[in-house]
């Protein structure tokens, strides 16, 4: 291995460490606790080293969001692949999405609540974000209905899931009604 290859590998490892540390700190204490000073202390590198990877917290949030998008897409695809029939797939998709949001609140915030400097729904949207949407579209597109654009239907269904995720997390919805909400969403919006 050349010196250049070793340096690139070490740089990539440091970057993964920064992102993992930011994610861990955010999940434990919230995004307000994530500062470049605290991250530099946690990873045992100086702040200038951290800044050589990321210009600041915004870019770190973006990196966590991209990692989270990849994980969410995998979770949705795994859940939908494990069941047969459109209704079961839509229900599995909704449950997997809501479970991901509940289990990873800081990552979910990085994806959908905080400014990570990422472009959404544009030509220059990063691939992990496009793929996360594609994971939803793969299942929801098949139940969009006649004359309904599959992408538009997916956006509306996703918006409903996002609303359920954020309202549930904020304690605005009764926890015991989580399953009936998903069933109602699937029955009335997806109509399968």
Distance of CA 115 to the CA centre of its chain: 13
What is the pLDDT, as a whole number, of residue 114?
97
Q: Quote the tokens at residue 101.
A: 């949001």
Q: Go through 13-45 and write b for each residue having 16 or more CB atoms within 10 A of its CB, e for each that does not.
A: ebbebbbebbbebbbeeebeebebeebbebbeb
What is the pLDDT, as a whole number, of residue 92?
98
Residue-wise pLDDT tens digits, 126-139: 999 999 999 999 99
Which stretches in the chain have pLDDT values below 70? none
What is the pLDDT, as a whole number, of residue 191?
82
What is the pLDDT, as a whole number, of residue 81?
98
What is the pLDDT, as a whole number, of residue 3?
86
What is the pLDDT, as a whole number, of residue 60?
97
Residue 161 in contact with residue 153, Cβ under 8 Å? no
């Amino acid at each position: 291995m050349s010196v250049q290859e070793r340096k690139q590998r070490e740089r990539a490892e440091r970057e993964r460490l920064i992102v993992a540390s930011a994610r861990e700190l955010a999940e434990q204490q919230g995004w307000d606790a994530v500062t470049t000073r605290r991250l530099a202390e946690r990873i045992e590198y100086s702040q200038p080293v951290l800044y050589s990877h990321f210009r600041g917290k915004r870019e770190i949030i973006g990196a966590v969001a991209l990692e989270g998008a990849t994980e969410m897409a995998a979770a949705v695809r795994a859940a939908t692949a494990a069941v047969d029939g459109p209704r079961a797939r839509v229900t599995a998709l909704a449950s997997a999405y809501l479970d991901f949001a509940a289990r990873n609140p800081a990552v979910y915030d990085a994806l959908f609540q905080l400014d990570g400097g990422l472009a959404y729904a544009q030509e220059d949207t990063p691939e992990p974000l496009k793929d996360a949407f594609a994971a939803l579209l793969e299942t929801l597109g098949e139940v969009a209905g006649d004359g309904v654009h599959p992408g538009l239907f997916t956006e509306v269904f996703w918006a409903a899931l996002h609303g359920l995720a954020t309202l549930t997390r904020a304690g605005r919805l009764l926890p015991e009604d989580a399953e009936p909400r998903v069933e109602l969403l699937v029955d009335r919006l997806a109509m399968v």
